[in-house]
Amino acid sequence: MVWPLAKSAFDRLVDSDWAAGYDPQSISRGFAGVRKNEPMTQPSTTAHDAFPASRNPRVYVVIPAYNEAAVIADVITAVKASCPDIIVVDDGSRDATGAIARRSSVYVIRHVINRGQGAALQTGIEFALMAGADIIVTFDADGQHDAADISRLTAPIIAGACDIALGSRFLGETIDLPAVRRLLLRAGILFTRVTSGAAVSDTHNGLRAFSRRAAECIRLRLDGMAHASEIIDQVIRSGLPWREIPVTIRYTDYSRTKGQSSRGAIKIAMHYLLGRVMR
């Protein structure tokens, strides 16, 4: 009677690190800001130490991609120029996204079934942690981001000024942002301010950078697009210092077709609210 209980407790103890991403309980536990394998004396509200100049921090760029065969090669080439370690998460694409990505020397992770951008990001982040990343950058595959912004996001983390850098198009530059899309994004920002209490100027920006310990706090459970609000939530709750960095977003005809419709936005909001109730 006691033995199976003790055994399962032991298993959980031994497996805890590997299973952390798969254990629903760890999701609620994971936001203490300090994980158990880190010294507890370190207050979570201060940023990590700056990286020593002798060792270059390993920066990994995670690119979640779903049916992006038309642009993925260009995006990889552009990102390669500023960061050689790239992880493309092929989220069950039905086109040649994965095959094209495999042609360049990047890590390609394949979701057998399409699970949504949030799920792909989480997979990419976990793989980057496995690979020993010091800093993890998320980058959209549709070519709306400027690869030159990556170094601007990682700079404050490398300097030890913050753990999380969020790209903001409203602090930076937006090229050809449609009026309806602007309105929708404003609504999203207001929504996030109400639900998470975070004064973030651009909540739905795919360009973000995390220090290793910040990435360890991120556990995305919302598979679809609602993860954008979820990330902000978890960033706030982790208690780790974050800041916004102005970035450029380029709205092309291609990226516009990949974006969200107004109806989709309402669906995303519903998903997010339900996700907050359900643990």
Partner 1 sequence: MNGFQVLILSVLTLLFAASLTALLRGWSGRREGIVWCGLCMIAAVATIWPQVTVRVANALGIGRGADLVFYCAVVVMMVGFWMTYIRLRYLRRDVTQLVRHIALLEARSQLPDADPGDDSGGNPSSRQH
Interface positions with partner 1 (CB under 8 A) = 14, 17-18, 21-22, 37, 89, 92, 107-113, 115-116, 119, 122-123, 126-127, 129-133, 212, 221, 223, 274, 278
Is the Cβ of residue 127 or residue 251 nearer to partner 1 in the bound state?
A: 127
- Kindly state the smallest distance separating residue 171's Cβ from partner 1, in Å: 32
Cα 167 to the center of its chain, rounded Å = 11
Is the Cβ of residue 2 or residue 53 nearer to partner 1 in the bound state?
A: 53
Q: Please, what sign has the CA dihedral across residues 223, 224, 228, 232?
A: negative
- Kindly state the smallest distance separating residue 180's Cβ from partner 1, in Å: 30
Is the Cβ of residue 121 or residue 232 nearer to partner 1 in the bound state?
A: 121
- Kindly state the smallest distance separating residue 190's Cβ from partner 1, in Å: 26
Is the Cβ of residue 21 or residue 246 nearer to partner 1 in the bound state?
A: 21
- Kindly state the smallest distance separating residue 132's Cβ from partner 1, in Å: 4
- Kindly state the smallest distance separating residue 113's Cβ from partner 1, in Å: 5
Q: How far apart are CA 213 and CA 204, in angstroms?
A: 22
Cβ atoms 24, 231 nearer than 8 A:
no
- Kindly state the smallest distance separating residue 253's Cβ from partner 1, in Å: 31
| Exposure string over 159-172, b if 16+ CB within 10 A, otherwise e | eeebbbbbbbbbeb
**E strand or H helix that includes residue 128:** helix 117-130
User: What are the C-alpha distances in Å from 73 to residues 69, 85, 103, 143, 149?
Assistant: 7, 15, 9, 10, 19
Question: What counts of helices (H) and strands (E) characterise the chain?
Answer: 11, 7
| Eight-class DSSP state of 226 | T
Is the Cβ of residue 88 or residue 198 nearer to partner 1 in the bound state?
A: 88
Cβ atoms 240, 167 nearer than 8 A:
no
Sheet containing strand 242-250, edge to edge, reads 107-111, 86-91, 59-65, 135-138, 208-211, 164-175, 242-250
Is the Cβ of residue 67 or residue 201 nearer to partner 1 in the bound state?
A: 67
- Kindly state the smallest distance separating residue 14's Cβ from partner 1, in Å: 6
Is the Cβ of residue 72 or residue 133 nearer to partner 1 in the bound state?
A: 133
Residue type, 269: A
